[in-house]
A and B are shown apart, each in its own frame.
Chain A
Amino acid sequence: MAENNSIWDKLFNMDRRWIFLLMAVVVIIPFFFKMGLPINTTDEVEGIYNYVDSLEQNDAVMIGFDYQPGTMAENQPMSEAVMRHCFARKVPVFITAVLPLGNGLAEEAIANLTDPDEPGTFQRVRYREWHSYDYGQDSLPSRVTHDQLVNLWERDHQLREDAMGWVFEGVDYVILGYAPLFHIVLLGMGRSIVSQYPADLYGNPTENMPMVKRNKSAREVDLGVTVAGSSAVLWWLTYAHESYGMPIAFGVTAVMATDYLVYLQSGQIVGQMGGLRGAAEYEVMLKRDGYSIEEGKAFRGMDVQSIAHILIVILIVVGNVAYFAGGYHRKGRRLRAGR
């Protein structure tokens, strides 16, 4: 037995940096072998997808970038996927943030979706560009829709060949950005969006923007998607959904996902994306319906995720086998094994 124990002892006392190294190898190597394992979609994510899919340019969606860079790997693919879906369906998107850091993330998401060097992205036109443009004898309607604006704009401008479509700032999206005490801001937006955000992130007055003219208060917004790495999602639930009935969907990190399923079952939210898997499911559906030409980062990450999970399970099993085989469970513990 003593001999036996020493083997286990050695195993347990080995430098944990070896395990770190193993982990590093396991998440790096699979990137070089594309497996593309299929991902099945679940009701939780389909709930959001189908909801957004039923909207069009007269509706509106509000996306909350309520996370920090720390959880970006999980959250960014979610917000990009929903935003892509909205852009493709021409649904206007209001962008807010519970934390100031959300602003930068929102800008980055827009930049990614409108990257001119990537095929299948959108071509962005900044607010000042199209708003102050000379349209000849046609005046620009103050509540101009996406389609109307495209008609006017395409007289003088050509859409990039590999682009999915136009995106006009102020018509298709606006970054309202961060405001402190966001729950109060949510309540205030139920009365009027302009009162809470007189200007957007770049200082453009929101009251002149067609999408704000068409959706003056958050009551007229058809879906709020809060993408978060914290319990900020509950603010949306309490202060937007329960206060003036805005339908809400959650995009949360895996760490929080299991806690918030209760709100799906209670019918308070229309759907939930949990972690990288949730984002990957959304990407799969976008590709299926032709809203994107290939799945994004989340889907590609899921292969690696598979392998890493196998490693963790093996480590747990081996560790426990060693623990009991080595007789550690009997040694020197006076407290009864608690919970």
Chain B
Amino acid sequence: MYEQIGIWLAAFFTLAIYSFLYKENPVYRFAEHVVVGISLGYFMVYTYNNVLEPRLVRPLFVEGQLGLIPIMLLGLLYITRFFRSVSWLSRYPIAVVFGMAMGLSFPRTMLSMVLRQAEATVIPIYRTGYAWHDVLGSVIIIVGTLTALIYFFFSKPHKGWFFGTGSKIGIWIIMIAFGATFGFTVMGRISLLIGRVQFLLTDWLHLIE
């Protein structure tokens, strides 16, 4: 029963959103505002139930771990954000969370996003058993990365055989890469539409299995 009501409700909202394709209208606006409220409300509930309750409220108020009081007070400082005269206090919890997160990120990002990527470009051009397109592939990975980096290098003008030619090759490589992104993005958006049509045709209208 409830599932049936739910499906009809979902179908209504799906069509309400699609009505935007025809024209912006009150039904669309209704759906859009409903989702703004619900999604943040959902967030609120889950943060309380899954984080604050088991990790703060229960240990502090039920089990009596008083050491958590400073943590709670620090967290509550976020509220000061809404009172102009004391809003600077909200910077304290932000600073604690933010500063350490930045420090945490620095060496790890250096490793996983910079060093590992540089390492992965150090590959042999030819190994026994490589087909011609594999060799070409390795060369393109190495040259492609190098030249695309040259394109984004700002300390030298794009002139001469290294920086001039390099940046030209680089931009072509980047364009091919963007082409791949383009193709995949189109694919992704269509997949999402297919998902909705699948819902409408299967769960709502029962037109297909």
Contact = CB atoms under 8 A, between A and B. Distances in A.
Consider the complex of A and B and state whether they touch directly, i.e. have CB atoms less than 8 Å apart. Answer: yes
Interface of A: 17, 20, 23, 27-28, 31-32, 70-74, 100-101, 103-104, 177-181, 183-184, 187, 198-199, 201, 203, 234, 237-239, 241-243, 253-255, 257-259, 262, 265-268, 274-277, 297, 300-301, 304-305, 308-309, 312, 339
Contacts of A300: 198
B180 A254 contact: no
Name the residue in A100, A104, A237, A259 with the highest tally of chain B Cβ atoms < 10 Å from its Cβ.
A100
Given A31-B198, A259-B181, A267-B120, A179 B51 contact: yes
A17 B22 contact: yes
Interface in B41-97: 42-43, 45-47, 50-51, 54-55, 97
Contacts of A103: 46, 50
Nearest to A277: B187
B97 A275 contact: no
B193 to A, nearest CB: 6
Given A100-B45, A177-B50, A265-B141, 13 more contacts: A27-B194, A27-B197, A71-B188, A74-B192, A181-B101, A183-B104, A241-B112, A242-B112, A262-B120, A267-B120, A301-B194, A308-B190, A308-B194
A178 B191 contact: no
15 contacts: A17-B21, A27-B197, A28-B197, A31-B208, A73-B191, A100-B47, A178-B50, A184-B104, A187-B104, A234-B112, A254-B185, A258-B180, A266-B117, A274-B184, A309-B190
Q: Would you call the interface of chain A mostly helix, strand, loop, or mixed? A: helix
Interface string B166-197: 00000100010100110011111111111111
A174 to B, nearest CB: 13
B22 A276 contact: no
A98 B105 CA distance: 17
A304 B188 CA distance: 13
Interface in B132-191: 141, 171, 175, 177, 180-181, 184-191
B193 A180 contact: no
Contacts of A74: 188, 191-192, 195
Contact of A301 (B50, B108, B171, B191): B191
Contacts of A339: 171, 175
Contacts of B47: 100, 178, 180
A20 B193 CA distance: 12
A120 to B, nearest CB: 14
Interface of B: 21-22, 39, 42-43, 45-47, 50-51, 54-55, 97, 101, 104-105, 108-109, 111-113, 116-117, 119-120, 141, 171, 175, 177, 180-181, 184-198, 201, 207-208
Contact of A73 (B120, B180, B185, B195): B195
Contacts, number: 144
Contact of A258 (B181, B194, B198): B181
Contact of A266 (B55, B120, B180, B189): B120
Given A276-B191, A305-B187, A28 B201 contact: yes
B97 A305 contact: no
A200 B72 CA distance: 22
A73 B207 CA distance: 19
A274 B112 CA distance: 21
A277 B191 CA distance: 9
A123 to B, nearest CB: 20
A126 to B, nearest CB: 18
Name the residue in A73, A181, A183, A308 with the highest tally of chain B Cβ atoms < 10 Å from its Cβ.
A73
A74 B22 CA distance: 26
A27 B108 CA distance: 44
A237 B21 contact: no
A257 B181 CA distance: 8
Give me the 7 closest cross-chain CB pairs, A-B, nearest first. A73-B195, A266-B120, A254-B188, A100-B46, A276-B191, A254-B184, A301-B194
Contacts of B198: 31, 73, 297, 300-301
Contacts of A268: 112, 116, 120
B187 A275 contact: yes
Nearest to A264: B120
Contacts of A304: 194, 197
Given A27-B197, A178-B50, A266-B120, A253 B112 contact: no
